[in-house]
Amino acid sequence: MTGSGKAPLRQAYDALERTLAPPLEAIVRSSEYLRAGALFARGQRSVSVRVNGISRRLWHLANLPAGTDVQRLRLQIGQLDREVRRLALQLEAQTERARRAAEDGFDERV
């Protein structure tokens, strides 16, 4: 270690960072960089939509479900699962009320 207490590799890294950080930060904060990023994202989305459309048609030609079909089915299964849980809770509550009513009826007769 040197007199500063930092390893030579760390000193080199810090020096490089001090030199490169200000101009790189200026570039990243520029409007051109933001426009380029937005354009890239738009292009990426466009390519993704096209590729997904082609793959969906190919899967359907092979008479197989596409990713979007599977995703839709997963959503439907999730909705059905929530509905079954809700109905099970309602049934449980109704059964409990009926049990209590039956017990109360027996208590009054004794």
Q: Tens digit of pLDDT per residue, the chain (110 long)? A: 555 678 999 999 999 999 999 999 999 999 999 999 999 999 999 999 999 999 999 999 999 999 889 999 999 999 999 999 999 999 999 999 999 998 887 654 44
Asked whether residue 73 falls in the same domain as residue 50, the answer is no
Nearest C-alpha neighbor of 12 from the set 2, 27, 23: 2
Asked whether residue 78 falls in the same domain as residue 91, the answer is yes
Asked whether residue 60 falls in the same domain as residue 75, the answer is no
The structure tokens 């059905």 sit at 80
Q: 26 CB contacts (<8 Å, ≥6 apart)?
A: none
Asked whether residue 59 falls in the same domain as residue 76, the answer is no
Range of the domain at 103: 65-110
Asked whether residue 3 falls in the same domain as residue 54, the answer is yes
Number of structural domains in the chain: 2
pTM > 0.85: no
